[in-house]
Structure 1
Amino acid sequence: MAVPAAPSQQDDVDTFNTFWREVDFTTAMRPRMLEDEVEVLITQEVTVLHNERTVGYGKGSVTLTTHRVIWQPAEGGDMAAPIAGGLGRVARADVAQRTFKKSSKVSLYLRNQLNGGEEPEVKLRFHHRGRDAFLEKVTVLLEREAWKPKVADASLTKPSADDAFSTTSAGIKGIIRQQERLRNAEKRVVNAAFSDLDSLIAKAKDVVQVIERFSQEKGAAAGADHEKLSAIVQSLGVSSPVTRELAGGAFHAELAREMADVLGPLVERLGSVLTLPDVYCLVNRARGTELCSPEDILKAAKLMGGLGLEFALREFDSGLLALQHTSHRDEQLRDRVTVMAEELHALGQGLRAMVVARELRCSVTLAAQYLELAEQAGRLARDEGPEGLQFYPNLFPAFVAARELDDEIQP
């Protein structure tokens, strides 16, 4: 009887390089989801092994989705590039065998039969915890094969027989009935999908479709003045928002990354400083039905600077909290506000917070903070009178300098 050949080192290298591929990430280091892909679990302190050795992919985080296993380095850890392996290549998953002690590793056995009939495998080592939860969920995913194309719920896309034209379906009442049927169908999809993991996997495509429809309808309700902003926010709809169940103890860190991805493209339109109430509204609009509390938004905002993201939390002297983009420069802002004050002063008018808010496309509260920054820098002087608070170019330094010069000239 022929003895199967021992696996060669080249076969092991081919197995590792064939399964693991570099993956596309956002600027906030969140993996870009594929079509109909949904995140299922995020686990920290996981190492990717090759031949039982760490090969530059030390302790990082693993994101398990309906389509892939994604590894990315921990903050401040290895500089290895994020990698991902498709679940379509995996035949089964099991706890790696160990002689005497309970193993902390999970083996993913690949479908291709190489090495004389032996199953090639890749391994993940869970340093802290999460092995059992990962194994349970990846087993369900492999059974469901959620990465394969599925037909979406017809009730969400195609009109039913009841929608055919008739006297009862015409007019306002007919439109209301159609909308009601569509909402009921969407409600059934969401309730069924989030009842358990199996249903979420099976209904992933339908859930994404419902969220996209939700974003579009909210955008359509906006006025013409907000059409461009609505289009941007709709394109940022988070079809797989991070949740506590998904991320566990890393929830706020992952939420911070998600917030950076949502807010980054809005900087050009809304400015480089966003108040937390504005952040709360924008992020929750992008998340659709998975709303975050103000406390969660604040905790995530406090982590953004330490995570090296494009935003960091800033507290103004008044106590106002805002997220500030790395491109923001107070000097440029003071220059703009000063020029605005000089132009109005030439017309015999003062500069109000309302005018600054309109010109800079920010809230009146934030505009008031900008005026105070310019005042603190000695660029503006305030005038509180019957007409309210106004600001003018600060001419006192020039006046004082002129008086001092006159004193020097006069004997």
Structure 2
Amino acid sequence: MADRLAWTDGQLHVGEALVTTQNGVSINDGPEKTDYQKGSIELTSHRILWKDKSAQVELTLSSVICCEKKDASIISKARLICTLSRSQTKRPGPFASSTHDEIQFEFRDGGCNEFFRLIQEELAKKRWSVQPAKPTTTMNAAMSDRSHRTGISGIENHLQHQLNVQHQSISGAFQDLNNLMQQAKDMVNISKTIANKIQEQRSDLTSDETIRFRSYLLSLGIDNPVTKESAGSQYHDTNGIMTLSDAFCRINRARGYELISPEDLLNAAVHMEQLNLPVRLRVLSSGIKSFELTNHNEEKDLKEITNQVESAKSMSADQLANLIGIPVIVARERLIAAETNGLLCRDDSIEGLRFYPNLF
């Protein structure tokens, strides 16, 4: 119920006492964000005061029916939720109306628990009814000036406030990102400790299984839990090539909420080789687009596939895909490429397409 907020000059009234102050607090109209982000909040014996560089608002404690605290989670900060009454006369403020019956104060820099304890005490004491506070003449003049502030001056102030809000939002986003990166590093250390203990206590657990366990964290977007040194030849688990569709799924799964579109991935892929990146875009003969390591040796790869087919006497694309861990469509492309180079020959029957060593 953000429409219960009223303009104020931020000064204490006669008979009013300051209780506590906290920085980095944002105002939400119910669950919806407002433009009033990361300001300072003050609790007095009569009001809640909030201000930043461009605005100062107040909420009288007499309009608060009750308060509850919502603890922080992975995706949100701790919040103080105040349920408000609609019985009092509305005063001039930043919001003309609201569809919610509560206003939320989001504590981005901590301090919610202490503020919640103190406001519970003030709501129980009801000092505003025992000793009513009287606004000073300075406040009355400021209220009058703000309520009549229109025209070019009002537009300039609004634009300046929007710039401040954007700056605070960007700063908060980078702060959240830094916190997430720190938590990711902790999770990496935990994963390494768990993997080492598992391998020490269970001799039947192979190093490949340990590497696979660490790779699960990589698929969740954890920064570098698998290194080339620790994983060896299994560092590139798709044999140096991956279709764009597989890459798209893995990237978005790692990003979580900040997803990319297929067009974003394709536009990035076409510039990789120009930027001398270790991965490049390759279009297979079937038209399928894929990522491929720039140091990928095509001749060596075809010889290895030919050796696999010779060892098994014959092989289908499905079998090759399961054997070396690549998509079936890529395995089919590899077998056809080996056939084109005279290394393999095919048998296309009702049982499907199979490839055999070329003995001629």
So what's the TM-score if we normalise by structure 1?
Answer: 0.38
- Larger Rg belongs to: 2
**TM, length-normalised to structure 2:** 0.43
